[in-house]
């Protein structure tokens, strides 16, 4: 599991009890005294862990040196003026205090604070008149992942300026300029035994930019993209993390610089920063090595991206085979033999509280859901004490029922419902929020929920977005020129014309349609295009590769003999963003063979089936939305017309794959199904896109029309919703 866990610390007003070295009595007429106290909360929940050798929790909070860069407002922008050193840095328990002597001014100023800045200013000195962006971009330091103190950054805008001859006290939050990695072993019941022997970090950046380049919220400073120092390079040798005990269940406190995402499949293997875990599989006496990538699978965290001030928890859930024989091989090849589940934590430590052995924290204080009814999203609660939840009214006062306990459901407040859930064997509870009606207005709908745990109280903001961002979004769809193809714009003689008419009908999909969207942009390639390799016809290969990488949806239809290289391109394209959907034809044994051999974990397909008609699959918790929303209810076990005898069926699919259409003689044998987590649709009969199974005029009339339109509504949501 990869968890993303931002961790903060705070500047607050200095206590009157602190005896200061500098006082207002020894200031010059134009000088102002600034007091700052750093409050340092714990950065993780108490648990039994093994720290990376020579590391302690103190390094995440300790400040040994700090520079204050002063900017003054001029023509509605802040211009660098001078810098000052923080003096009398004192640490007491969980606080660090310091002070600085600055120039008094009545102008609006901005202070940038760089803590533990290393060699950042050894060769760089900002010049008066430099812009914020210039100073940020040039403030970089060497970082090898093993050092005594972590670089840190914070900023504050002071509109009223600095008062001379008196104390100036301000509240400032700071971000650590690095990310933290924790490795945890939590094997499930079907995993084979595995003993961790080593951990390595491959290809981290050797320098970091102390300040994030993007503008941050001073009250709630969270970064959304990495800021890579101009002179940073990927380290050619891995960081070896020493382990202090045999068979540890966790290794914590590994630090790395930020990294950009990688979308090219070759770069994902050879350029992306990754973790390699060495260990003994199932009693073996020689270790083998397993690669784990920074790939949470969320739009804000694409493949390979590493963000500052985040904690990445790699939780190993299952090991089902030997790894690579050497760590360098694991670092340059696809992961094999190991399973990591993915969970994202954001804004955690700002809402993490400790009192003795008790603790309470939530993964986020903001929940955003799509505009349609039935959309769900959850946040996580980690606590040692019981908690309750209750809605608040517009004035912030509690209203309605109070609930406590797992599986409890808080009645909806006209817009949202919320349920408390907890997985078996886990100490993390989940609050699952669900929208109860569409929001087709031009305004977001917002509610607040209060969580109370002992003396701790947190309010969660829940928002249902309005559909404005969808109305101009055009979804790019590529298909292969064969049976079931969706054609190009405008459609030519396409055998998938019935489906095209449903998608092109503005009543169904348009800014005013049932599904709000700007429309679809269709393109297609030939079967020979999909057979190209970098050695057979490099120009054509690069052209089709570029076309594929520009798509939101790729449909590899009937009789597509895709090459191994382009199969790898498509798999990397899919992993590169959570806003992409792959539709894989499975009509015949030869269709997409090179691709399907990488997807065998989703089941195997049988062909040359006879005397099989189709029907809608039995409804389950996973697929029920496809049979109800937003194009209406699909009749239970509704029959689906079969055109010919060329189709594929799959009966051994795992629980992650949910069937939508099955054989009418075997409800387990799917002809159409979806892996919802991977965003892969398995389409066993391209003829289902034609007249007959679907209405010919683009109207939603039959049960299969409704099922198909509901499926494409889901596709649109995957493409648009989390952007």
Q: Distance between CA 162 and CA 676 in Å, rounded?
A: 55
Residues 590 and 458 in one domain: no
Residues 433 and 488 in one domain: no
Q: Is 258 exposed, middle or buried, given 0-12, 13-18 or 19+ CB atoms closer than 10 A?
A: buried
For residue range 113-160, what is the model confidence (pLDDT) as tens digits? Answer: 999 999 999 989 999 999 999 999 999 999 887 656 889 998 999 999
3-state secondary structure of 711: helix
Q: Alpha carbon of 375 to those of 345, 418, 439, 656, 678: distances in Å?
A: 20, 12, 11, 19, 18
Rounded to an integer, the average pLDDT of 294-323 is 81
Percent with pLDDT over 70 in the chain: 87
Residues 519 and 629 in one domain: yes
Q: Which residues pair with 458 in a beta bridge?
A: 451
Residues 278 and 360 in one domain: no
Residues 442 and 586 in one domain: no
Residue 509 inside a domain? The answer is yes
In this model, does residue 11 exceed pLDDT 70? no
Structural domain that includes position 77 = 7-176
Q: Which residues of 161-189 are buried (b: 16+ CB within 10 A; e: fewer)?
A: bbebeebbebebbbbbbbbbbbbbbebee
Among 270, 305, 340, identify where a domain stops.
340
Which of these, 561, 554, 498, lies nearest to 523 by C-alpha position?
Answer: 554
Q: Please report which confidence band the pLDDT of residue 591 belongs to, taking 50, 70 and 90 as the band edges.
A: very high
3-state secondary structure of 432: strand
Q: Please report which confidence band the pLDDT of residue 13 belongs to, taking 50, 70 and 90 as the band edges.
A: very low
Residues 554 and 604 in one domain: yes
In this model, does residue 298 exceed pLDDT 70? no
Which alpha helices (H) appear in 383-455, and where do they start and end?
Answer: none
Determine contact, residues 585/607, Cβ cutoff 8 Å: no
Residue 349 inside a domain? The answer is no
- Which is more confidently placed, 10 or 453? 453
Residue 347 inside a domain? The answer is no
Domain total of the chain: 4
Residues 172 and 209 in one domain: no
Q: Distance between CA 518 and CA 720 in Å, rounded?
A: 11
Of the candidate ranges 152-166, 400-414, 514-528, 693-707, the one whose mean pLDDT is the lowest: 400-414
CATH no. for residue 628? 3.40.50.880
Percent with pLDDT over 90 in the chain: 50
CATH no. for residue 377? 2.60.40.10
Q: Please report which confidence band the pLDDT of residue 616 belongs to, taking 50, 70 and 90 as the band edges.
A: very high
| DSSP letter (8 states) at residue 384 | S
In this model, does residue 44 exceed pLDDT 50? no
Determine contact, residues 72/103, Cβ cutoff 8 Å: no
Of the candidate ranges 26-40, 74-88, 249-263, 482-496, the one whose mean pLDDT is the lowest: 26-40
In this model, does residue 51 exceed pLDDT 60? no
**Average pLDDT taken over every residue of the chain:** 85
For residue range 425-456, what is the model confidence (pLDDT) as tens digits? Answer: 566 788 999 999 999 998 999 999 999 988 78
Residues 452 and 509 in one domain: no
Among 151, 176, 201, identify where a domain stops.
176
Determine contact, residues 243/280, Cβ cutoff 8 Å: no
Residues 494 and 453 in one domain: no
* ω into 689 cis (within 30 of 0): no
Q: Please report which confidence band the pLDDT of residue 636 belongs to, taking 50, 70 and 90 as the band edges.
A: very high
Determine contact, residues 605/648, Cβ cutoff 8 Å: yes
In this model, does residue 354 exceed pLDDT 60? no
For residue range 163-192, what is the model confidence (pLDDT) as tens digits? Answer: 887 778 887 878 889 988 888 888 877 788
Q: Distance between CA 596 and CA 585 in Å, rounded?
A: 9
Residues 57 and 130 in one domain: yes
Residues 382 and 317 in one domain: no
Residue 345 inside a domain? The answer is no
Phi, then psi, of 678 in degrees rounded to 5: -85, -10
Residue 399 inside a domain? The answer is yes
In this model, does residue 197 exceed pLDDT 50? yes
pLDDT for 175 equals 84
Residue 151 inside a domain? The answer is yes
pLDDT for 17 equals 36
Which of these, 268, 271, 273, 230, lies nearest to 254 by C-alpha position?
Answer: 273
In this model, does residue 356 exceed pLDDT 70? no
Rounded to an integer, the average pLDDT of 244-265 is 89
For residue range 319-346, what is the model confidence (pLDDT) as tens digits? Answer: 888 889 999 999 999 887 787 654 444 4
């Amino acid at each position: 599991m990869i968890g993303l866990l931002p961790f903060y610390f705070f500047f607050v007003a200095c206590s009157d009890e602190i005896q200061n070295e500098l006082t207002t009595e020894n200031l010059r007429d134009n000088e102002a005294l600034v007091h700052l106290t750093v409050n340092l909360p714990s950065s993780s929940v108490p648990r039994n862990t093994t720290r990376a050798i020579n590391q302690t929790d103190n390094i995440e909070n300790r400040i040994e040196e700090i520079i204050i860069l002063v900017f003054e407002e001029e023509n509605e922008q802040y211009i660098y003026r001078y810098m000052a050193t923080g003096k009398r840095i004192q640490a007491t328990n969980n606080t660090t205090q310091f002070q600085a002597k600055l120039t008094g001014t009545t102008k609006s100023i901005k202070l940038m604070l760089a803590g533990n800045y290393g060699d950042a200013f050894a060769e760089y000195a900002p010049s008066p008149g430099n812009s914020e962006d210039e100073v940020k971009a040039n403030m970089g330091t060497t970082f090898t992942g093993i050092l005594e103190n972590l670089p840190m950054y914070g900023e504050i805008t002071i509109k009223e300026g600095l008062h001379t001859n008196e104390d100036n006290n301000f509240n400032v939050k700071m971000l650590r300029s690095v990310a933290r990695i924790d490795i945890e072993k939590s094997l499930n019941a079907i995993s084979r035994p595995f003993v961790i022997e080593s951990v390595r970090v491959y290809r981290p950046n050797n320098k970091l930019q102390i300040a994030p380049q993007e503008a941050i919220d001073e009250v709630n400073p969270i970064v959304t993209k990495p800021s890579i120092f101009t002179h940073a390079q990927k380290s050619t040798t891995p960081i070896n993390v020493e382990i202090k005990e045999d068979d540890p269940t966790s290794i914590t406190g590994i630090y790395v610089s930020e990294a950009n995402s990688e979308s090219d499949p070759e770069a994902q293997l050879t350029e992306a920063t990754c973790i390699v875990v060495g260990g003994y599989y199932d009693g073996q006496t020689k270790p083998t090595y397993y690669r784990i990538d920074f790939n949470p699978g969320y739009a804000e965290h694409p493949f390979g991206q590493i963000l500052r001030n985040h904690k990445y928890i790699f939780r190993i859930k299952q090991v089902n085979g030997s790894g690579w024989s050497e760590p360098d091989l694991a670092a340059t090849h696809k992961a094999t033999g190991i399973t990591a589940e993915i969970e994202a934590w954001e804004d955690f430590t700002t809402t993490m509280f400790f009192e003795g052995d008790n603790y309470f924290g939530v993964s986020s204080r903001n929940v955003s859901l799509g505009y349609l009814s039935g959309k769900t999203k959850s946040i996580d609660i980690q606590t040692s004490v019981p908690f309750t939840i209750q809605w608040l009214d517009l004035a912030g006062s509690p209203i309605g029922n109070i609930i406590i306990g797992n599986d409890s459901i808080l009645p909806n407040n006209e817009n949202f419902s919320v349920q408390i859930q907890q997985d078996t064997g886990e100490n993390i509870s989940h609050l699952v929020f669900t929208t109860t009606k569409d929001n087709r207005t031009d305004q977001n709908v917002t509610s607040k929920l209060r969580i109370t745990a002992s003396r701790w109280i947190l309010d969660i903001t829940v928002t249902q977005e309005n559909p404005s961002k969808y109305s101009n979004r055009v979804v790019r769809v590529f298909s292969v020129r064969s049976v079931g193809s969706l054609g190009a714009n405008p459609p030519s003689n396409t055998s998938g014309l019935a489906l095209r008419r449903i998608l092109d009908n503005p009543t169904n999909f348009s800014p005013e349609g049932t599904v709000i969207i700007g429309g679809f942009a269709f393109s297609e390639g030939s079967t020979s295009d999909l057979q190209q390799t970098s050695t057979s016809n490099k120009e054509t290969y690069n052209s089709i590769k570029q076309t594929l990488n520009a798509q939101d949806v790729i449909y590899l239809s009937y009789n597509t003999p895709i090459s191994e290289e382009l199969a790898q391109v498509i798999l990397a394209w899919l992993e590169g963003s959570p806003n992409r959907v792959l539709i894989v034809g499975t009509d015949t044994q030869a269709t997409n063979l090179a691709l399907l051999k990488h997807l065998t974990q989703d089941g195997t397909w049988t062909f040359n089936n006879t005397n099989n008609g189709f029907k809608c699959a039995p409804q389950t918790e996973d697929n029920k939305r496809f049979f109800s929303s937003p194009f209406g209810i699909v009749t239970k076990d509704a029959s689906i017309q079969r055109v010919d005898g060329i189709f594929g069926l799959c009966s051994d699919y795992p629980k992650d794959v949910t069937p939508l259409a099955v054989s009418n003689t075997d409800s387990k044998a799917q002809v159409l199904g979806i892996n919802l987590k991977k965003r892969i649709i398995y389409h066993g009969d391209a003829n289902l896109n034609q007249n007959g199974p679907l209405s010919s005029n683009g109207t939603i009339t039959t049960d299969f029309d409704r099922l198909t339109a509901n499926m494409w509504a889901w596709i649109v949501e995957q493409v648009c919703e989390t952007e």
